[in-house]
Copies of this chain bind each other. A is one copy, B any other.
Amino acid sequence: MSTTPLRVTVWGENVHEQVEQHVADRYPDGMHGAIAAGVRENLPDAVVRTATMDQPEHGLTDEVLEQTDVLTWWGHAAHADVDDAVVERVHRHVLAGMGLLVLHSGHWSKIFGKLMGTTCTLRWRSEHDRELVWTVNPQHPITRGVPNPIVIPEQEMYGEYFDVPTPDELIFISGFTGGEVFRSGMTYRRGFGKIFFFSPGDQDFPVYFHPDVRRVISNGVEWARPERERATPTLLRYDLGEYFDGKDYAGPIDEPVEA
């Protein structure tokens, strides 16, 4: 395994913190600041930086993404304001191998929708439900070191039907005070990139200070680290008996009929 430090970029929309005083009080360093602190705490050797929507190109230039092994994404109030060109760029980097963690309300972000191909809608309520996060895949490295269940005293409720593709791995299922359930931890592979969706975390509750939530996010970041050099899957032609030297695509029509 690589001995170079893991490079993590924590992206935060950083809007609630600016317009809602109670969020600013709860997350004095921003929600991205709390998430980044949790990763640093659990992965002291990782290089963790933050980026926010108000920066040029939302802080996600090609240069930043090239130097990012794993990107975490939290957004909510301003999904629609995220620049489509940045979404395209992040999508391209994920397919080429960059790891991605989509957190909580990131379920409705442009980038998650583009990777999933579905509406990513769900049922919800923000009324102080207790959330219990149950492990259903105890052999998975993302579950390392957390109790079963993780108890989150107050949380927004997210419930089924959650309109996403069947995950590659279902890791956590949450149960709420109201009796709702939610597939709260799931992995996906898209292109050469690994994706982990984890739903606990909200602007209205101090969930990103919860030690078990921080541990899961950090485990997820480690898990999503790429195994290979970044490269984009490409359509190539191979001669009979030739397996390694592919040729670029030259178009669909071999023998056009004379006009």
Contacts and interface: CB of A to CB of B under 8 A. Distances in A.
Which 7 pairs between the two chains have the least Cβ-Cβ distance? A163-B233, A121-B235, A77-B252, A175-B181, A115-B117, A132-B179, A134-B160
Interface of A: 16, 19-22, 76-77, 95, 97, 105, 108, 114-119, 121-127, 129-130, 132, 134-141, 143-144, 147-149, 151, 157, 159-163, 165-166, 168-170, 173-181, 183, 188-194, 226-228, 232-241, 243-244, 246, 252-257
Contacts of A256: 19-20
A243 B118 contact: no
Per DSSP, chain A at the interface is loop
Tallying the copies of this chain within the complex gives 4
Nearest to A224: B139
Given A139-B192, A227-B139, A16 B165 contact: no
A95 B178 CA distance: 28
